[in-house]
Structure 1
Amino acid sequence: MVEIPPSAAPVVAAPYRTEPLPDLAAWTRYFVDAEIPVLAATAQALEQLRAIEDDVDAAMLAKAIQTDPLMSIKLLAFVAGKRKPSILNDEGADAKTDTVTSALVMLGIAPFFRHFGPQPTLEDRLRDQPQALDAMRELLRRAERARMFALGFAVHRADLDVDVILQAAFLHDFAEMLLWCHAPTLALAIHDAQSADPTLRSATIQRSLLNIELDDLAQALMQRWRLSTLLVRLSDTRHAEQAAVRNVVLAVRVARHTMQGWDNAALPDDVDAIAELLNAPPRIALAYLHKIDRGG
Structure 2
Amino acid sequence: MTTPPAARPLTYATPAHDVAGWARRFDPMAMPILADTAATLQSLRENEDEVDAHLLTETVAADPLLTLKLLSHVASLQRRSHFDTRGDIETVTAALVMVGIAPFFRLFADSSVVEDWLGDQPEALEGFRKVLIRAHRAANFATAFAVHRMDHDVAVIREAALLHDFTELLLWLHAPTLALEIARLQAEDPALRSVVAQERVLNIHLPDLQQALMTQWRLPPLLVKITNARQSESVQVRNVLLAIRLARHTSSGWDNPAIPDDIVEIASLLNMRIEPTWALLRDIDE
Equivalent residue number for residue 285 of structure 1: 277
Contact 2:225 2:237 in 1 (8 A): yes
**Residue segments in structure 2 that go unaligned for 5+ positions in a row:** none
Equivalent residue number for residue 156 of structure 1: 148
What secondary structure does 1:177 align onto?
Answer: helix
- Tell me: CA distance 1:187–1:35, structure 2 relative to 1, closer, same or farther (3 Å): same
Identity of aligned residues (%): 51
2:87 to 93, 111, 117: 93
Once residues 223 and 82 of structure 2 are traced to their aligned partners in structure 1, the CA distance between those partners, rounded to angstroms, is 17
Equivalent residue number for residue 225 of structure 1: 217
Residue 67 in structure 1 maps to residue 58 in structure 2: no
- Tell me: CA distance 1:272–1:17, structure 2 relative to 1, closer, same or farther (3 Å): same
Contact 1:87 1:93 in 2 (8 A): no
Residue 32 in structure 1 maps to residue 27 in structure 2: yes
What secondary structure does 1:286 align onto?
Answer: helix
Cα shift at 1:244 = 0.5
Equivalent residue number for residue 41 of structure 2: 46
What secondary structure does 1:20 align onto?
Answer: coil
Once residues 43 and 124 of structure 1 are traced to their aligned partners in structure 2, the CA distance between those partners, rounded to angstroms, is 11
Give the residue type in structure 2 aligned to 1:132. A
Cα shift at 1:20 = 0.5
Once residues 232 and 118 of structure 2 are traced to their aligned partners in structure 1, the CA distance between those partners, rounded to angstroms, is 34
Contact 2:134 2:248 in 1 (8 A): yes
What secondary structure does 2:66 align onto?
Answer: helix
Give the residue type in structure 2 aligned to 1:226. R
Contact 2:38 2:109 in 1 (8 A): no
Equivalent residue number for residue 113 of structure 2: 121
What secondary structure does 2:38 align onto?
Answer: helix
**Residue segments in structure 1 that go unaligned for 5+ positions in a row:** 1-9
Q: Encode CA deviations 1:113-150: one digit per residue, 9 max, x unaligned.
A: 23225110001110111011111221121111111100
Give the residue type in structure 2 aligned to 1:111. P
Residue 16 in structure 1 maps to residue 16 in structure 2: no
- Tell me: CA distance 1:184–1:237, structure 2 relative to 1, closer, same or farther (3 Å): same
Q: How does 1:84-233 map to 2 (within 5 A)?
A: 84=79, 93-94=87-88, 96=89, 98-233=90-225
Q: Aligned pairs, how many?
A: 282
* TM-score, L = length of structure 2: 0.92
**Greater CA deviation, 15-24 or 277-286?**
277-286
1:58 to 36, 53, 60: 53
Contact 1:219 1:236 in 2 (8 A): yes
Q: How does 1:216-255 map to 2 (within 5 A)?
A: 216-255=208-247
What secondary structure does 1:93 align onto?
Answer: coil
Q: Encode CA deviations 1:24-55: one digit per residue, 9 max, x unaligned.
A: 00101111378211111111211222222222
Once residues 47 and 184 of structure 2 are traced to their aligned partners in structure 1, the CA distance between those partners, rounded to angstroms, is 46
Contact 1:11 1:124 in 2 (8 A): no
